[in-house]
A and B are shown apart, each in its own frame.
Chain A
Amino acid sequence: MLIFHLGPLATSLFSLLAILALVLSFVMLASHWLKNHVYAFAAESWTIAAISASIGYYGHYPELYVIAALTALFRGTFLPYLVIRLVNRLDIQREFTPLLKPSSSMILGAALVIFSYEVSRQLGIALHLTDNIAVLALTCMFSLKLIGFLMMILRSEAISHILGLLVIENGIFLGSQILVPGMPALLELVIIFDLLTIVMAFGMLVRFLQTHAGTTSSRGLQKLVG
């Protein structure tokens, strides 16, 4: 398995990239401007593409180069373009009703990272993988997942929800590249396209929300309760 035969250089490179992706998710937590979120998300996707490519290189998985190129193309370029277009069309530049200030949400995010590290460490002990890159990969995967959920909980704009979901998916993708690089490439390809379909569906629904429900904030969606 790849994670057992990594040289020190490769390990440091993967760690650097994984942590970079994690830091970029904090950039999203720290800003209420939607465009900043999208740029951070794009940068995160490019980082993940770099992880894919370097794993393809060090682990000799040529199909990962294709995945890396598609990740950069779709997740890193096309999806952010779609979301930016949506932001411009809806004319919503920033999150107006966040539950917490950026500083508080960052502290919550940090707590979630510590929690993720603890879970991953326990898993690492159970699997006899302490001091392995796997623990870092698991930590990043769980952290991005929880931070994505945190963004969806703390923010009410529809676009923030879409971005939260995309961060969650990025986390899964990041973890799966390091942990299971040999996973059938077909599946990863399909998941990339599936994500694209989902974002388009979200885009259509957000526009319906604006025209038919008159709001794109989940705090305005209070008609159905009980």
Chain B
Amino acid sequence: MVNFAALIAALWIIPGVAIIVMLALRRPRLAEYLNLLTSIAVFGLTLAILVAAPDKPLVTGAHYILLTPLGAWVLFCVGLVYLLASIYAIGYMRLLPEEKPRLHKYYALQAGFALTMLIAPLMNNPGIFWIAIDFTTIVSAFLVGFEKEAECIEAAWKYLIVVSAGLALALLGIILFYWGGTFVLGPTYALTWANLREVAPKVPETLLFLAFLLTLVGFGTKVGLAPMHTWLPDAHSEGPAPVSAMLSGALLNIALLGIYRFLAILDNGGYSLMGHTALLVLGILSLFVAGLFIVRQDGAKRMLAYSSLEHMGVLAIGFGFGGSIAFAGAMYHMLNHSLNKSLMFFGAGNMMRAYGTKSMSKMRHVLRYYPVSGAVWLLGAIAITGAPPFGLFLSELTILRGGILSPNPWAVWVMAILLILIFTAFMNHFRRMIWGPEPEPDTAPTLRLSLWNTLPMWLALIPVLVLGLWWPAGLWGFFQHAFLVQP
């Protein structure tokens, strides 16, 4: 029997201690490696929790901690992206010599951001889950604004305001859920996911649906579903590249986990179809908005931010279809997207530093100057648009397959057409970056990328390729199991 309480305690204590040490010693070089070590330990722990994950949802820690298969999966994605981002951060932050005196603060914030993300998916109380999500926002807003340029502060401000306002709606939804329960369980009962699910069939449907819509819009703001996505491209494009990867690859999944848990409550209450359709419509809308903005985009990281919007849309569609096949596809897609989007942001960060601009129209002949890391970036771009033989192709195909059997088969066609649009637009941008007109001689990049900058790209690309060629049978069984138990 694995002692999960001890594993989880270690998962929180290690980054906590690391943050204190970094802030106390104020040594940049030390903070760098300490953060790397922390992320390795965190990755190992999340992997251990995932592998040993109990068959039944486990409640521990005085009923405050809930470990479910889906929660363990999201946690694993956090650990993975944190590890990749920590390796990359060493290379990336060394390219910014002017930040060196503040580097220990950066790493402390990064570890703190990871810590808040390691807490949220494990919360058994929706209210405390909400608070944990709120803390992820506060910490990551300071990371987005870390470089202190006007754009960065503007992005951080918009991020904090839009997401806080959205989350306030989610809190209202949680209170309405709780109120619904008081008609059955009496005025005072424990606010837990399981309790809310149990009472759902006896709660008046209007109240239940209103509460769900409020949480959908609230956490949907945090996921970045259109039309509440407005903070997302700013925050993702202005933060340092490792932070963008963590925002996109780890944080958005957690908010989506919250939405799915509320959807499960609604499912139990017998309002299933309307809830799923609402999520599906937001997903389709996100794909549509992302597609339009990717077509006419010039900022490299902004384009990737809209790609995050696209993939959150795909995940929302996957969960919105319902059914075990689409659900398995969505879970698989979560991991693939976390890996692939990290790779893309790392590549974009490298090219931004190399060419000294964020604009894709000024990044020319990438493959000539950076034959290896440019090629890895290009392969990542092919993967992120859902082309074979990469993992995202398999997961998107599985979601589409699941959708055909769902009550909303029309969405399959819309999704397929929008994915083709996004593929074309993405490849067009990369075509211009690889061929395109010759750059001015004096703007040719001279930067030499270190292993810290390129290794994490390989570490992300290889699994995406492997997962595209081979879907482990054990994982399929795990997804099916996760679908059947409490999310």
**Chain A interfacial positions (CB closer than 8 Å to B):** 1-2, 122-123, 126-127, 141, 145, 148-149, 152, 158, 161, 164-165, 168-169, 172, 175-176, 179-184, 187, 190-191, 194, 197-198, 201-202, 204-206, 208-209, 212-214, 221, 223-224, 226
Contact = CB atoms under 8 A, between A and B. Distances in A.
Nearest to A169: B168
A147 B316 CA distance: 30
Contacts of B445: none
B188 interface: yes
Give the interface residue-count category, chain B: 35 or more
A104 B158 CA distance: 27
Contact of A224 (B135, B155, B175, B296): B155
A208 B164 CA distance: 19
B187 A181 contact: yes
A118 to B, nearest CB: 13
B138 A197 contact: yes
B182 A182 contact: yes
Given A187-B127, A221-B158, A194 B134 contact: yes
Given A198-B138, A224-B234, A205 B155 contact: no
Q: Nearest 6 pairs between A and B by C-beta? A: A182-B188, A182-B187, A126-B206, A213-B150, A187-B127, A224-B234
A205 B141 contact: yes
B285 to A, nearest CB: 18
Per DSSP, chain A at the interface is helix
B215 interface: no
B245 interface: no
Contacts of B157: 158, 205-206, 209, 221
B154 interface: yes
Interface of B: 125, 127-128, 131, 134-135, 138, 141-142, 145, 148-158, 160-161, 164-165, 168-169, 171-172, 175, 178-179, 182-183, 186-191, 204-207, 210, 233-234, 237-238, 293, 296-297, 302
Nearest to A200: B138
A226 B293 contact: yes
A184 B234 contact: no
B49 to A, nearest CB: 25
14 contacts: A1-B186, A126-B206, A145-B169, A152-B161, A165-B161, A172-B172, A184-B188, A191-B131, A194-B131, A201-B142, A205-B145, A208-B148, A224-B238, A226-B297
Of the candidates B149, B154, B234, the one having the most CB atoms from chain A within 10 angstroms of its own CB is B154
Given A198-B138, A223-B151, A172 B178 contact: no
Contacts of A180: 175, 178-179, 182, 187
Contacts of B188: 182-184
A213 B183 CA distance: 51
B149 A212 contact: yes
Contacts of A158: 157
Contacts of B205: 126
A205 B296 contact: no
B161 A175 contact: no
Contacts of A221: 154, 157-158
Contacts of A148: 168
B182 A205 contact: no
B125 A214 contact: no
Contacts of A197: 135, 138
Given A1-B186, A224-B233, 8 more contacts: A123-B207, A149-B165, A161-B161, A180-B182, A184-B127, A190-B128, A201-B141, A224-B151
